[in-house]
Amino acid sequence: MKIVNIVGTRPNLIKIASLIKEMHRYSEIEPVLIHTGQHYNENMSKVFFEELDIPQPDYNLGVGSGSHTWQTAQIMLSLESLLVELHPDLVLVVGDVNSTLAGALVGVRLGIPVAHVEAGLRSFDRTMPEEINRVLTDAVADYLFTTERSANENLRREGIPEEKIFFVGNVMIDTLLRYRELAMNLALPTRYSVQPRNYAVLTLHRPSNVDEPKVLQGILDAVSEIQLRLPVLFPVHPRTLKRLTETGLLQRTRTLPDLRLLEPLGYLEFIGLMAQAKFVMTDSGGIQEESTILNIPCLTLRENTERPVTIIEGTNELVGTSPDRILAAVGRVMNGSAKNGRCPELWDGQAATRIVRILQAQIR
């Protein structure tokens, strides 16, 4: 059984790591890994292969950056002839990026069954490129593997037949549980001259936050107050760095004594830093999930989330981008009133095992 696994970004690599490991346990499965090149610099991609023991890609399309339309189209054009040549039994895509949608569309056009890992998540905000990618990928996929029960309900409402939906847990958590101890042993707080449980971690990359100067300014206004109470470590995404530079906000951030601007971190470094933080502020979906398992308060700087289980059961709180709301949420954490959470159903490190077993049974 030849399975083509398509990745393109850093979150894709975290999710595919456990799946590739599981597939290699079976002699009857031939996993092929294709990297589209959507993320292509060392800290955004290459280091993740090394840290997570992911085999080097069998093929790298080298697409690079561009608009959503251009990038999706280029991936599709490069992928079509390769899939014709490989003639796989299954195309497997993960997450919600442009590479996910492109892989699914090419697979279905060529009559190849498509599996979507992390299906059914919905923010119900069609202004988010990721939401469009999720909805369209799920509409054409043959096997839809979900991380939480709300995703199953979303798919049913959209008319997806029950026999295509499989609640299996979260492969991102598989990877986190496997590498958590190794990440903790790196002693990251010491490296950055901060004390465990006495610093915050900030990440920003969503267009709705970093492409809107007033929104970005408001978030930084809140952060300028927060860093007076404890250090804030801010690994800066390349997209965010570009926007900070264009808007003139970069110089301002550099004047804040306890806002530490960092280069993008590798997976182990970031997990090790996040696991010992007082709290996390983010607009990332994956970090909402990881912080829940690490039992770290997560303040999500968005008006919506496609991962409601992290709020219902986890440590996540949706606080939006208003400086007043952000500061109020930080105040609750600092005063010992942080939200308590618990481990969501099936987030037990066995999602990849369930997925591979289901695919074996279905495709035979």
| Spacing of C-alpha 317 from chain mean position | 17
CA-to-CA separations, 175 to 31, 282, 296, 302, in angstroms, rounded: 18, 20, 17, 25
Q: d(Cα 94, Cα 279) in Å, to the nearest integer? A: 28
Phi-psi region of 144 (alpha: psi -120 to 50; beta: other; left: phi over 0): beta
Q: Cα–Cα–Cα angle for 351, 352, 357, nearest 5°?
A: 100
Alpha helices in 142-206 (DSSP H): 149-157, 171-184, 188-191
Evaluate whether 333 touches 299 at the Cβ level (below 8 Å): yes
- Candidates 223, 338, 199; CA nearest to 329 is 338
Amino acid at residue number 53: D
Tell me which of 35, 39, 116, 205 is the catalytic residue. 205
Residue recorded with tokens 């979900």: 146
DSSP 108: H
| Spacing of C-alpha 186 from chain mean position | 22
Residues 6 or more apart whose CB falls under 8 angstroms from that of 126 comprise: 132
Q: Residue 217 has which token pair?
A: 């300014």
How many alpha carbons fall within 13 Å on the CB side of residue 282? Answer: 27
- Candidates 124, 128, 131, 132; CA nearest to 157 is 124
Is 116 one of the catalytic residues? no
The DSSP bridge pattern shows strands 143-146 and 114-117 to be parallel
Q: Residue 302 has which token pair?
A: 């968005």
Q: d(Cα 96, Cα 118) in Å, to the nearest integer? A: 8
Evaluate whether 156 touches 184 at the Cβ level (below 8 Å): no
Query: Which residues are identified as catalytic?
Result: 205
